[in-house]
Amino acid sequence: MRYFIAACVAVLIIWSLASLIIGPAPLLTPPGVIVADEPIQGTCPKEVIATIKGYTVTKMATYTIRARVLHVKHYWADGNELVPFDVALGWGRMSDQWVLDRINISQGNRFYFYESEGGKPIPDREVDRHSSNNHLIAANSAIARVIAGLYPGEIVTMQGFLVNAAKKDGIDWTSSLTRNDSGSGACEVIYVQGIQVDKPGAPLPSPAPTQTPAPAPVASS
């Protein structure tokens, strides 16, 4: 009996490790674009919005994005005290299950990667312009919990600011301010003040997601 229990424990450990490395299986939807909206970026005064765990967070632009969650990566180093999660997001044809079935998506070293076996379902340039890797900074603990629970295939609406964050003897975070770039420096750094998560096929959210009041600036990563 004890050998059976030990075998079950071993299987559970292997399954847990595989889940951490590979990530959760995404929710699947019928073929077709499920998020047609483009992210909305606006101007704002470039001011310090928060001080979090020694980082000075400066807002660079207002930002609202509604997109399909493509992949989620939890980091345990490389600035995880400020940004524990990176989330790859897709909109337009990068929210289409038919396209996503034909590419492999992964994250690592603070980047998001895609590759296809055989022919590419859409041009690389369209992928670059309709998906992004996002470094997420939660404005408070309630938003942090929602971010931690994001799942591939869900539709997320986030509202806040694109920001830069700097810390003496720490990692400097600089947000991209365009959706037309790729490679190093192309990731968005989002200070998330409002967030709403919907399952595919759910009714569209109201124009602005429910806001969770942000507390006075506190130390956070």
Residue 97's alpha-carbon distances to 12, 15, 88, 92, in angstroms, are 30, 26, 15, 11
The whole-number pLDDT of residue 85 equals 98
The whole-number pLDDT of residue 169 equals 82
Residue 154's alpha-carbon distances to 1, 4, 24, 95, 149, in angstroms, are 41, 37, 12, 10, 10
The 8-class DSSP code of residue 128 comes to H
pLDDT at position 82 over 90: yes
> Distance (Å, rounded) from C-alpha 87 to C-alpha 83?
11
pLDDT at position 218 over 80: no
The whole-number pLDDT of residue 201 equals 64
Provide the mean pLDDT of the chain: 85
Give the rounded percent of residues in the chain with a pLDDT score beyond 70: 79
Beta strands 104-108 and 155-166 are unpaired
pLDDT in tens, 162-206: 999 999 887 899 999 999 998 889 999 999 999 999 988 654 454
For residues 121-143, average pLDDT: 97
Domains of the chain with bracketed CATH: 29-198 (2.40.50)
The whole-number pLDDT of residue 119 equals 85
Question: Higher-confidence residue: 66 or 11?
Answer: 66
Tokens for 48? 């310090």
pLDDT at position 5 over 80: no
Give the rounded percent of residues in the chain with a pLDDT score beyond 90: 71
For residues 36-42, average pLDDT: 97
Calculated CA dihedral for residues 219, 190, 48, 172, nearest 10 degrees: 70
For residues 90-118, average pLDDT: 95
